[in-house]
Chains A and B, each alone.
Chain A
Amino acid sequence: MRGLDIRYFVRRIWMFFLVIFIAASFNFLIPRLAPGNPIGAITSRMANASAGIENGQAMFEAYRKRFGLDEPMYVQYGKYMWNVIHLDFGQSLSAYPADVWDIIKPAVGWSVGLIGVSVMLTFALGITIGAALAWKGTPRIVRSLLPLTMIGGVLPYYLMGILLLYVFAFTARLLPMSGAADSSIPVEFDWPYVQTIASHAVLPALSIILTSLGTWALTMRGLIVNTVGEDYMLLADAKGLKKMRILWWYSVRNAIPPQVTHLAIALGYVVSGAILVEIVFSYPGLGYQLYQAIVNSDYTVIQGITLVLTLSVGFSVLIIDLIYPRLDPRVTYVAESSG
């Protein structure tokens, strides 16, 4: 691939795994560093709760053994890492003996669908609106309406969520209040199922789109305005190109690469920002599951989800790093010979 040295490629992938390894290590360490050992805390809480029960102490010991807490730290660490590689995050504490991965897996699907689609839509809309704002040829009426898209930016995600919920679900009863799909509809790839998924996703997606669109549009407008004084813009005009050609292939084309970097950061940020949106809509994605796990002090699930979030951010940054040379021909990635 042009501009993409194979050694760079390998190194970048290696970096990705290193980041994940470090993240996983912290993920292992932090709960164990907390005073009083949180995993011990929950098992002892269970033990207290069962104090009246016969064999309470035996049960507590059994739990400790079950979760491997009786073993030396390095053995726990080694086992933990080995399991992480196999996407085995152990068993849930609150929904024992359910596997953590079985709780996370469907949540990943819902979150990636909801957030992925919302962010991509926002990205595309933001670029278009930003371009329209910056462009001289935009009709005045359109131009005066566009700043309206920025109003949503003053609200945090979850407040926008509550507002939309109140107006469209609670008052107007146009859309469902919560969840990701109607449980009465069988899970099949057919029209009714697609419909229920879409109708459940509209409001959470809108709260993400409406609150972040303004920032995207404004940044885009700024980047496009910056191209106005460039020498290549003068030549584009001088050549007698049509306005639309100049707008998309000269202005927007030059403004997009920095926006894509912004996209990588935004993806990571939206994942955490959308936690509250998922809670408001009881949308069974990672954010919602994380919230449930925190409420139930379910440390194994919390650990699993944090790691998956790290993984997703690391992965989106990796992808964008790898496609960037395709996006901006001036950027070539070559592994330094000294490295």
Chain B
Amino acid sequence: MASNPAPNSTEPVLVVRDLSVTYRTPAGPVRAVNGVSFSLRPGERLGLVGESGSGKTTTALSLMRLLQTSAVIEGGQVLLGGVDLLQLSEEDMREARFAEIALIPQGAMNSLNPMMKVGEQLRDTIRAHRAGSNAKATADTDARIQRALESVELRATVVNSYPHELSGGMKQRVCIAMGILLNPKVIIADEPTSALDVVVQRQVMETLRKVQEALGAAVILVGHDMGLMAQFVDRIGVMYGGKLAEVGPVRGIIKDPLHPYAQLLIKSLPNLETKENFRGIPGLTPSLLNPPSGCMFHPRCPQAMPRCATDVPALVEIKTDRWVSCLLYEGSPS
């Protein structure tokens, strides 16, 4: 079913509307995600970029309701195939995890249980989503595991290994295999290669792309490496201070970024032709405990106007599929 794109493939598979998440901390509430909205078409690859602390991980984990107990989802909707995941019962949400929406975690090195063989950790994923266990089910489980391992280019014998016997790249491949075991519609990959070295990074990303295309699943790829991102995703969402600053097709954004923060981010990329050095973006990341008034970016924005300190820009579509949250564009025809 999920493996071949449905005829109505223009219908988004995932719609996130006005998602807001706050962490309760001793110092006060931290608004980590602040009114984030985006949608994802079947098979589409969306990248979430932004500096550390901009809310990428919190956004990704809240889609699966995996946040720590100190986090509160204050509002919004996460519609997966029309069903709001935020309204599901605990048990229904558990069932949806990995079956409908899977996670390839950030910490590849430590994401597998060190006490359990890889095969057992793949098997319990399937078992958690299926009642009963007869001989036929067991055979089917084993076949699924073999197929998944094959598609991530791992030998079938890794099922007998403990995680510490595998390299970082192999562990991350195991995690990818795990993610596709139950044919989910959406796969969230949170910096899936950040712990790996550059060569392995590319190989793992290639594998991820291959299995994702074969499966027809949509992917949300979280990362801060714009270079890697540009090669992998179709669309990019740039996050700043818990909000989406800009969303659009990857080519459009790289060639012609509209939001001042996106412009600085693109400019700061090391340019191979001119051998320019990497330039950071001047200024400090905003405090989410005490967020700036008006536009989150105004204390650092080179194009800030007086009203930027008071008015809050909304994310609006100013050209086809180009969404920007900046007062410079407000009022311009869409």
Taking Cβ atoms with an 8 Å cutoff, the residues of A that contact B are: 136, 230-232, 234-242, 245, 249-250, 253-254, 328-330
Contacts and interface: CB of A to CB of B under 8 A. Distances in A.
Contacts of A238: 64, 66, 97-98, 102-103, 105
A254 B124 contact: no
| 8 nearest CB pairs, A to B | A240-B97, A231-B107, A231-B110, A238-B103, A329-B162, A231-B111, A232-B113, A235-B111
B129 interface: yes
B24 interface: no
Contacts of B110: 230-232
Q: Contact residue range for chain B?
A: 20 to 34
Interface in B208-247: none
A224 to B, nearest CB: 13
Nearest to B95: A240
A136 B112 CA distance: 22
A330 B164 CA distance: 6
Instruction: Determine which residue in A231, A239, A241 has the highest number of CB atoms from chain B within 10 A of its CB, and name it.
Output: A239
B134 interface: no
A254 B115 contact: yes
Contacts, number: 75
Interface of B: 64, 66, 69, 94-99, 102-103, 105-107, 109-116, 124-125, 128-129, 162, 164, 175, 178
Contact of A231 (B98, B106, B162): B106
A241 B128 contact: yes
A142 B128 CA distance: 27
Given A239-B98, A241-B124, A329 B107 contact: no
Contacts of A232: 110-114
Nearest to B122: A239
Contacts of A254: 113-115
A235 B103 contact: yes
A136 B128 contact: no
Nearest to A330: B164
Instruction: Determine which residue in B66, B111, B112 has the highest number of CB atoms from chain A within 10 A of its CB, and name it.
Output: B111
Nearest to A235: B111
A330 B125 contact: no
Contacts of B66: 234, 237-238
22 contacts: A136-B69, A230-B110, A231-B106, A231-B107, A232-B110, A232-B111, A232-B112, A232-B113, A232-B114, A235-B103, A237-B66, A238-B98, A239-B178, A240-B128, A242-B94, A249-B113, A249-B124, A250-B113, A329-B114, A329-B162, A330-B114, A330-B164
A136 B99 CA distance: 24
Q: Is the interface of A mostly helix, strand, loop or mixed?
A: helix
A207 to B, nearest CB: 34
Contacts of A330: 114, 162, 164
A236 B94 CA distance: 11
Contact of B125 (A136, A230, A239, A328): A239
Contacts of A235: 103, 105, 111-112, 175, 178
Contacts of B107: 231
Contacts of A236: 113
A245 B162 contact: no
Contacts of A234: 66, 105, 111
B281 to A, nearest CB: 29
A245 B102 CA distance: 19
A328 B69 contact: no
Given A238-B97, A238-B98, A245 B111 contact: no
B128 A245 contact: yes
Contact of A329 (B109, B111, B128, B164): B164
Contacts of A253: 113, 115-116
A32 B205 CA distance: 74
Contacts of A328: 114-115
Nearest to B128: A241
Contacts of A240: 94-99, 125, 128-129
A234 B103 CA distance: 10
Nearest to B181: A239
A332 to B, nearest CB: 9
Given A235-B112, A240-B99, 6 more contacts: A238-B64, A238-B98, A238-B102, A239-B128, A239-B178, A249-B124
Given A234-B66, A235-B103, A330-B164, A242 B111 contact: no
A239 B127 CA distance: 10
Nearest to B117: A329
